[in-house]
Amino acid sequence: MAKGFLLVLSGPSGSGKGTVSQALMKKRNDIKFSISATTRKPRPTEIDGENYFFLSEEKFKQMEENGEFLESAYVHTNYYGTPKKFVMDEIEKGEIVLLEIDVQGALQIKKSYKEAVFIFLLPPTMDELRNRILKRGTETEEDIKTRFNNAFKELDFVGEYDFFVVNDEVENAVKDIEAIIHSEKLRVKRHNNIKLNITGQGGK
Amino acid sequence: MAKGFLLVLSGPSGSGKGTVSQALMKKRNDIKFSISATTRKPRPTEIDGENYFFLSEEKFKQMEENGEFLESAYVHTNYYGTPKKFVMDEIEKGEIVLLEIDVQGALQIKKSYKEAVFIFLLPPTMDELRNRILKRGTETEEDIKTRFNNAFKELDFVGEYDFFVVNDEVENAVKDIEAIIHSEKLRVKRHNNIKLNITGQGGK
């Protein structure tokens, strides 16, 4: 049986990783979405184990100490993390797991689980990135400036990734990611019985 | 500017690497076919620099000593080799170079140029492999047996390759290879100015 893999889709704010992830999940039914754990309270419509794993701060910190997260972060008074067990179990079963995450989180995963497939999503131009940040229309001028400057700095980390995808059109970005998935499924190292499948007999 | 890459398409006798290479070259006009050098005499229809680079034995051996081949072999009283310069020049220009070669040749290239992308082409079953070898209809029973046994042994080397493609139908095999090409074009390590392309400014 072939092992699956973790696909880390990451990029700066305004790269469109959320939109691209959703479009990819909508198009494919052979990809599992990695569910994050958080200590923040569930919103009325959110379901535990579906939108997030909702944990107490005590439980979260205990898991963190035990090395049970692929990455974790403290954002706005709450903890967030990617539980390792869910990802590893699915990979063992041969599944492709998609994790959409910011650049800092991806760099943490690069350290804890370098076997993942790392994709950096880029805006086509910085002007377009600025437009996308502006379009949200929910932030102060100061916030927009910070977000834009952070995005500019984070582009330096593209060198840490395996692949880059320019998100000019969501449809094109999805096609690029699908080619990466197709190709990674053909990777020899994730199959340990290729000869056996062909011949009915093992290798040397 | 992005660098290109060398795509090594290899596999045992009967895997169909010749047919798949031709189908791929026919479908795509963005791939250069690597031309081998040989000391054998040209056939009437063969053109130097197109079918082969036809060399004297003296010239061939001199090039071999100078390390000017990615791989070379002595077959049926003649030398054959893959000139390094043609491949490297095309890669520098950003081209994808396809090299169709037997397993022994591919393993040599793995040592001399591990940056290549190695694809192992497999028959769907050993029965089908036997059929393909039989269909040629030009060999003795002894030759067929040798060819079949060699193919069986060569399947052990699939572990040395990056990707495997099962050639059940030529069209499917070509699609798999095209996905690998698409994906490899998005590989970060072959691009040294991704940030510059987006921002107009270099990285750190």
SS (H, E, C) B82-126: EEHHHHHHHHHCCCEEEEEECHHHHHHHHHHCCCCEEEEEECCCH
Q: Which candidate from B161, B184, B203 shows the least CB-CB separation from A156? A: B203
The answer to whether A18 faces chain B, any CB pair under 8 Å, is no
Q: Do B155 and A200 touch (CB under 8 A)?
A: no
Q: Count other C-beta atoms under 10 Å from residue A33's C-beta.
A: 14
Q: Over its length of 204 residues, how does chain A's per-residue pLDDT go in tens digits?
A: 799 999 999 999 889 999 999 999 999 999 999 999 999 999 999 999 989 999 999 999 999 999 999 999 998 899 999 999 999 999 999 999 999 999 999 999 999 999 999 999 999 999 998 888 888 777 788 888 998 999 999 999 999 999 999 999 999 999 999 999 999 999 999 998 898 888 886 544
The answer to whether A112 faces chain B, any CB pair under 8 Å, is no
CA nearest neighbour of A89 among A21, A9, A6: A6
Provide the pLDDT for residue A157: 96
pTM, to two decimals = 0.93
Q: In which band, very low, low, confident or very high, does the pLDDT at B28 lie, cut at 50, 70 and 90?
A: very high
> Above 90 in pLDDT, residue B68?
yes
Percent of chain B with pLDDT over 90: 80
Determine the length of chain A: 204
Q: Do B203 and A124 touch (CB under 8 A)?
A: no
Q: Do A203 and B120 touch (CB under 8 A)?
A: no
Average pLDDT over residues B87-109: 96
Q: Do A194 and B158 touch (CB under 8 A)?
A: yes
The answer to whether A152 faces chain B, any CB pair under 8 Å, is yes
Residues 6 or more apart from A196 whose CB is under 8 A from it?
A202, A203
Provide the pLDDT for residue A204: 45
Compute the nearest-CA separation of B193 from chain A (Å). Answer: 10
Q: In which band, very low, low, confident or very high, does the pLDDT at B202 lie, cut at 50, 70 and 90?
A: low
Compute the nearest-CA separation of A174 from chain B (Å). Answer: 12
Compute the nearest-CA separation of B23 from chain A (Å). Answer: 19
The answer to whether B42 faces chain A, any CB pair under 8 Å, is no
Q: Phi, psi (5° rounding) for residue B12?
A: -70, 165
Q: What is the mean pLDDT of chain B?
A: 93
Q: Which candidate from A158, A179, A186 shows the least CB-CB separation from B163? A: A186
Question: What confidence tens digit (pLDDT) does each residue in B154-192 have?
Answer: 999 999 999 999 999 999 999 999 999 999 999 999 998
| Closest residue in A to B194 (Cα–Cα) | A158
The answer to whether B128 faces chain A, any CB pair under 8 Å, is no
Residue type, B146: T
Q: Do A188 and B124 touch (CB under 8 A)?
A: no
CA nearest neighbour of A31 among A73, A80, A87: A87
The encoded tokens of residue A166 equal 């320019």
Residues 6 or more apart from A184 whose CB is under 8 A from it?
A5, A7, A117, A190, B183
Compute the nearest-CA separation of A59 from chain B (Å). Answer: 38
Average pLDDT over residues B9-16: 94
Percent of chain B with pLDDT over 70: 98
Compute the nearest-CA separation of A103 from chain B (Å). Answer: 15
Walk me through the domains of chain A, giving residue ranges and CATH numbers.
5-34+94-199 (3.40.50.300)
